[in-house]
Structure 1
C-alpha cells in the first residue's frame, strides 16, 4: 500500500469535507498505575463514550530505557485480565493488572499497558474515517525499600541538535515536564510546559531539544529547571562531547 498517497488523499478529503472523522470514544482511568509490594495487582476502568460497541485489546510490555532510548518488550511477568473485551455504548468495564511472576521486586519494575481500540469492518461506513485510539499507561511495581530518583544531567550536541541526557541513579522513576535550559549567556531553550518523559530508575534517557540551539553554549555548564512528580527540578549540567 502506498501510505504517502493514502495520507495525501485523506488530507484532501478532510480539506474539502468529503470525509467525516469520528471522535475518540474509548476512555481509560487511571492515567498511571503504581503498585507497592506486597500488593501485586491493580485495576483500570475502561469506558465507551461512543454510540456503538467497541472492541478493546489490552497488552502489557516491559518498559526499559536502553542507550538513551525507550524500549518495549513482550513479557509474561505481568498480565492483563481479560486481554480483550467488547464495551457496549455508555458502559464501564474493570480490568485487572496482575504481576504473576514469583520473583520479589528488587526496586521498581516499569511496564507499559497498551489499550487499543480494534477496527470493526462490519460497522465501517463509506466516507467515514475511524481514528482508532491507543492509550499507553505507565505501570510500576515497586518494593517498599525502593530508593528515590537521583538524576545526573549532561548536555551534548549531535547532528547540530542539543541532546539532554538524564541518568537516574535512584531506584524510582522521575516524571519530567516543563523542562527549560539556560546557558551562562542567558540563552534559553524550552521543551514546553507539558510532559517531556520519564527517567526510569537505574537508567539513562536522552531527549533532543525542540530548537537547534545554534547560539547555545558549546562548553561550560547549563542550568536546568523543570517539574518532577516529586517537586521542582533545579540542576546544573556540564556541556560534554557527543555520546
Structure 2
C-alpha cells in the first residue's frame, strides 16, 4: 500500500509510504512489528496509532484503545529511510478467540505543502489480530 500525489502552484510533489506487512497476525504472541518506508524526495512526518476494531466490520468503525500501543508514535523519516515500529498488547487478560485492532499509519502534510491550496494526508489502515 502506498501513495500520495499532491499538486500545487509549483508543480506536483510525489511522496509515498510503503507499509509491510499489510495484515498483522500475532497468534500466541503479545507483540509484533510493522515496517514503514518513506519513498520520494522529501522528509515524511509519520504518525502511528492503534485503535480497537471488530473483525469483519467497516475498517472506519474504530475506537480508541489503551490495550495495544505502538512505538514510536511519531517519527520523521528521510527519503528512502525505513522504520520498524514495535506493536505491543498491554492488556493483562489472556486473549479469548481473536482480538482485533487497526494500526493507523498517517503521513502528515509537511512544509512542502505550505504553499498548496490542497493539503493531503495519506492513511494506511492495517488489520492486527491477536489470538
Whether 2:85 is the aligned partner of 1:95: answer yes
Residue in 1 that maps onto 2:122? 133
Q: Is the 8 A contact 1:20 1:127 kept in 2?
A: no
Q: Which runs of 5+ in 2 are unaligned?
A: 1-6
Residue 27 of structure 1: how far off its partner (Å) = 1.2
Match of 1:64 in 2: 54
Of 71, 76, 81, which aligns to 1:86? 76
Q: How many angstroms apart in 1 are the aligned matches of 2:44 and 2:22?
A: 20
TM-superposition CA deviations, 1:80-134 (whole Å, max 9, x none): 11111110111101001110111100000110111001122x3335357553210
Structure (1 or 2) with the greater helix fraction = 1
- In 1, Cα distance between equivalents of 2:18 and 2:118: 19
- The runs of 5 or more residues in structure 1 that have no matched partner are 1-13, 143-243
1:1-243 paired onto structure 2 within 5 Å: 20-37=11-28, 39-64=29-54, 71-120=61-110, 122-124=111-113, 126=115, 129-142=118-131
Q: Is the 8 A contact 2:109 2:120 kept in 1?
A: no
TM-score (norm 2): 0.82
- Any conservation in 2 of the 1:58–1:83 contact (CA below 8 Å)? yes
Report which of the two structures shows the higher radius of gyration computed on alpha carbons: 1
Q: TM-score, with normalisation over the residues of structure 1?
A: 0.46
| Higher RCO (CA < 8 A, seq sep 6+) | 2
